[in-house]
């Protein structure tokens, strides 16, 4: 993978590198690691079946594995990566935000959202974010470091275990959807994110067996990485955080736009759609009197019409110190109507977790 021009800007400091974990490895890597411990390779499959199939993180439950082998494997390959700092919920316990401490001390957050027909987990790919979008709380403190594949996967597994045990309101359940819309820019941590997507989608005991169609990777628009992702053969949904149809405004709202312009980002998105046959999602946070004018809706429609696309409008969520607020209801409605009239599929996102600072753009993990 060739470095991106200016990649230094995106490169995370090496601070607090996490230890290797079973979830960093593919099945062959797991067998090799287990053999290095002096154990037969098939123990790797047994532990994977416990960890991913039965969602058991308690080695004493692995009755098919002799105790010394259990101990050796958990000591070497199953270090605790995420230490719970706190869990807060709202919506009658169906929205749960978790704050985790990583090795090195950085904090990240994940959010579980239960709906009648699905459970979506919103997960972080980096501690902090280097993209510096002025309306997003995560960007304000900058980037601390990239997460490893296992640190990403374990956020989903934590939710999956808690659902399986019936700890989430609504009874026992499963994670059906995963969105890379928590802290961080997933495509600036490309290798770990692709590894995590493989782990999440491959069937047990290799992975968690979540359908790729239920997974969404959201990006500010790192064009070379969008094109790389298109070549991975992973039919995940791509979401592009556009927020403005014109370069002048997008240069300020999504600063990486000074590197890759709206037209380049959209061309990459269409190429992604063609390669994967997936409808691309366009994220657009509606900000009062900033990007919600009727003419911008028309310009957005000009750029999208005729493509396999869906627009997700997000009423701006409040963040500390920001002077911006969500659009007036009538402006939001006019924006929706303008897109609909042009035949562009559009929905307004039902924002969850605002009251626990768990909604889009609010994840900052500032208070341990
Ligand atoms: N860095 C990736 C992943 C984060 S996804 C990306 O930008 O796509 C989080 C989504 O919430 C992005 O679309 C982001 O632009 C949006 N967002 C950020 N701050 C927000 C806010 N205050 N209100 C509503 N949406 C916001």
Question: pLDDT digits over 17-33, tens only?
Answer: 899 999 999 999 999 99
Instruction: From residue 155, give the alpha-carbon distance in Å to each of 23, 102, 121, 150, 326.
Output: 11, 11, 9, 9, 30
DSSP notation for 79-137: ----EEEEEEEEGGGTEEEEEEEPTTS-EEEEEEEE-SS-EEEE--SEEE-SS--TT-H
Q: Determine the distance separating the centroid of ligand 1 and the alpha carbon of 163, expressed in angstroms.
A: 26
In a domain, 1, yes or no: no
Q: Is 360 a catalytic residue?
A: yes
> 187 CB under 6 A from ligand 1?
no
* Model confidence pLDDT, tens digit, residues 279-291: 999 999 999 999 9
Q: Whose CA is nearest to atom 24 of ligand 1?
A: 316
Q: Determine the distance separating the centroid of ligand 1 and the alpha carbon of 241, expressed in angstroms.
A: 7
Across the range 65-79, mean pLDDT stands at: 97
Angle at 110 between CA 106 and CA 115, to 5 degrees: 175
> Which of 121, 181, 217 to mutate to test ligand 1, by most ligand atoms within 8 A of the CB atom?
181
In a domain, 298, yes or no: yes
The pLDDT, as a whole number, for residue 278 is: 96
Share of the chain above pLDDT 70, in %: 95
Question: What is the spatial distance between Cα 285 and Cα 308, in angstroms, rounded to a whole number?
Answer: 20
Range of the domain at 73: 22-77
The pLDDT, as a whole number, for residue 4 is: 54
221 and 325 in one domain? yes
pLDDT band, residue 15 (cuts 50/70/90): low
Question: What is the spatial distance between Cα 234 and Cα 239, in angstroms, rounded to a whole number?
Answer: 14
Question: What is the spatial distance between Cα 72 and Cα 70, in angstroms, rounded to a whole number?
Answer: 6
Last residue of one domain, picked from the residues 43, 59, 77: 77
Across the range 142-151, mean pLDDT stands at: 97
Q: Relative to the CA of 316, which ligand 1 atom is closest?
A: 23
Q: Whose CA is nearest to atom 19 of ligand 1?
A: 361
330 and 238 in one domain? yes
Helix (H) or strand (E) holding 311, with range, is strand 309-315
The pLDDT, as a whole number, for residue 12 is: 46
CB atoms within 10 A of CB 211: 12
The pLDDT, as a whole number, for residue 3 is: 55
67 and 31 in one domain? yes
Last residue of one domain, picked from the residues 77, 99, 117: 77
* Model confidence pLDDT, tens digit, residues 158-193: 999 999 999 999 999 999 999 999 999 999 999 999
Q: Whose CA is nearest to atom 20 of ligand 1?
A: 361
Across the range 128-150, mean pLDDT stands at: 94
Q: Determine the distance separating the centroid of ligand 1 and the alpha carbon of 218, expressed in angstroms.
A: 9
CB atoms within 10 A of CB 36: 10
> 194 CB under 6 A from ligand 1?
no
58 and 126 in one domain? no
Across the range 335-348, mean pLDDT stands at: 98
Question: What is the spatial distance between Cα 196 and Cα 124, in angstroms, rounded to a whole number?
Answer: 11
pLDDT band, residue 357 (cuts 50/70/90): confident
Q: Determine the distance separating the centroid of ligand 1 and the alpha carbon of 136, expressed in angstroms.
A: 6
**C-alpha 214 chain-centroid distance:** 12
Q: Determine the distance separating the centroid of ligand 1 and the alpha carbon of 181, expressed in angstroms.
A: 7
Q: Determine the distance separating the centroid of ligand 1 and the alpha carbon of 346, expressed in angstroms.
A: 17
In a domain, 71, yes or no: yes
74 vs 5, higher pLDDT:
74
- What CATH number does the domain containing 54 carry? 1.10.150.530
Across the range 290-311, mean pLDDT stands at: 98
In the set 36, 109, 133, 151, the catalytic residue is 109
> 344 CB under 6 A from ligand 1?
no
Share of the chain above pLDDT 90, in %: 87
Last residue of one domain, picked from the residues 77, 100, 124: 77
93 and 67 in one domain? no
237 vs 8, higher pLDDT:
237
List Cβ<8 Å contacts ≥24 apart for 326-330.
326/286, 326/287, 326/288, 327/286, 327/287, 327/288, 327/289, 327/292, 328/288
228 and 96 in one domain? yes
> 185 CB under 6 A from ligand 1?
yes
Q: How many domains does the chain have?
A: 2
Which of these, 194, 255, 265, 182, lies nearest to 228 by C-alpha position? Answer: 194
The answer to whether 283 touches 263, Cβ cutoff 8 Å, is no
In a domain, 3, yes or no: no
The pLDDT, as a whole number, for residue 9 is: 43
Q: Is 109 a catalytic residue?
A: yes
The pLDDT, as a whole number, for residue 255 is: 97
pLDDT at 368 over 60: no
In a domain, 11, yes or no: no
In a domain, 16, yes or no: no
What percent helix, strand, coil does the chain show, rounded to 5?
40, 20, 40
Q: Whose CA is nearest to atom 21 of ligand 1?
A: 361
Mean pLDDT estimate for the chain = 94
97 and 72 in one domain? no
Helix (H) or strand (E) holding 46, with range, is helix 42-48
Question: What is the spatial distance between Cα 68 and Cα 50, in angstroms, rounded to a whole number?
Answer: 16
The pLDDT, as a whole number, for residue 6 is: 40
The pLDDT, as a whole number, for residue 63 is: 96
Total-model pTM = 0.95
108 and 51 in one domain? no
Name the DSSP letter for residue 326: B
CB atoms within 10 A of CB 210: 22
> 181 CB under 6 A from ligand 1?
yes
122 and 247 in one domain? yes
In the set 122, 129, 136, 360, the catalytic residue is 360
- What CATH number does the domain containing 95 carry? 3.20.20.70
* Model confidence pLDDT, tens digit, residues 309-321: 999 999 999 888 8
> 326 CB under 6 A from ligand 1?
no
DSSP notation for 179-243: EE-SSS-GGGGHHHHHHHHHHHHSPTTTS----GGGEEEEES--HHHHHHHHTTT--PEEEEE--
The pLDDT, as a whole number, for residue 318 is: 87
In a domain, 9, yes or no: no
Q: Relative to the CA of 180, which ligand 1 atom is closest?
A: 3
The pLDDT, as a whole number, for residue 1 is: 60
Q: Whose CA is nearest to atom 3 of ligand 1?
A: 181
- Length of the chain in residues, anyone? 368
Which of these, 177, 271, 276, 180, lies nearest to 220 by C-alpha position? Answer: 180
* Omega before residue 348 within 30° of 0, cis: no
Q: Determine the distance separating the centroid of ligand 1 and the alpha carbon of 119, expressed in angstroms.
A: 20
Q: Relative to the CA of 362, which ligand 1 atom is closest?
A: 22
87 and 61 in one domain? no
152 and 33 in one domain? no
In a domain, 49, yes or no: yes
Question: What is the spatial distance between Cα 333 and Cα 336, in angstroms, rounded to a whole number?
Answer: 5
356 and 277 in one domain? yes
Question: What is the spatial distance between Cα 67 and Cα 256, in angstroms, rounded to a whole number?
Answer: 52
């Amino acid at each position: 993978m060739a470095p991106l021009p200016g990649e230094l800007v995106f490169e995370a400091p090496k601070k607090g590198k996490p230890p290797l974990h079973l979830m960093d490895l593919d099945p062959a890597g797991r067998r090799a690691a287990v053999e290095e411990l002096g154990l037969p390779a098939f123990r790797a499959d047994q532990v994977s079946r416990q960890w991913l199939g039965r969602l058991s993180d308690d080695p004493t439950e692995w009755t098919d594995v002799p105790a010394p082998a259990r101990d050796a494997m958990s000591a070497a390959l199953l270090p605790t990566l995420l230490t719970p700092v706190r869990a807060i919920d709202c919506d009658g316990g169906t929205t749960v935000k978790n704050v985790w401490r990583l090795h090195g001390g950085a904090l990240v957050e994940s959010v579980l959202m239960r709906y009648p027909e699905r459970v979506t987990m919103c997960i972080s790919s980096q501690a902090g974010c280097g993209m510096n979008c002025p309306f997003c709380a995560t960007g304000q403190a900058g980037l601390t470091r990239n997460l490893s594949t296992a640190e990403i996967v374990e956020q989903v597994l934590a939710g999956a275990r808690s659902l399986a045990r019936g700890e989430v309101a609504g009874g026992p359940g499963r994670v059906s959807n995963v969105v890379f819309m928590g802290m961080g820019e997933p495509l600036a941590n490309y290798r770990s994110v692709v590894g995590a997507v493989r782990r999440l989608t491959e069937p047990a005991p290799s992975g968690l067996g979540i359908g790729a169609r239920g997974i969404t990777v959201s990006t500010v628009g790192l064009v070379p990485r969008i094109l790389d992702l298109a070549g991975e053969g992973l039919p995940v949904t791509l979401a592009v955080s556009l927020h403005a149809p014109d370069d002048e405004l997008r240069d300020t709202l999504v600063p990486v736009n000074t590197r890759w312009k709206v037209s380049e980002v959209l061309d990459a998105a269409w190429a992604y759609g063609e390669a994967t046959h997936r409808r691309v999602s366009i994220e657009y946070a509606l900000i009062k009197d900033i990007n919600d004018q009727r003419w911008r809706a028309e310009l957005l429609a000009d750029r999208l019409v005729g493509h396999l696309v869906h627009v997700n409008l997000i009423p701006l969520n409040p963040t500390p110190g920001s002077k911006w607020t969500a659009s007036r209801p009538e402006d939001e409605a006019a924006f929706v109507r303008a897109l609909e009239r042009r035949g562009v599929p559009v929905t307004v996102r039902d924002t969850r977790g605002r009251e626990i600072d768990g909604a889009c753009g609010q994840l900052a993990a500032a208070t341990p």
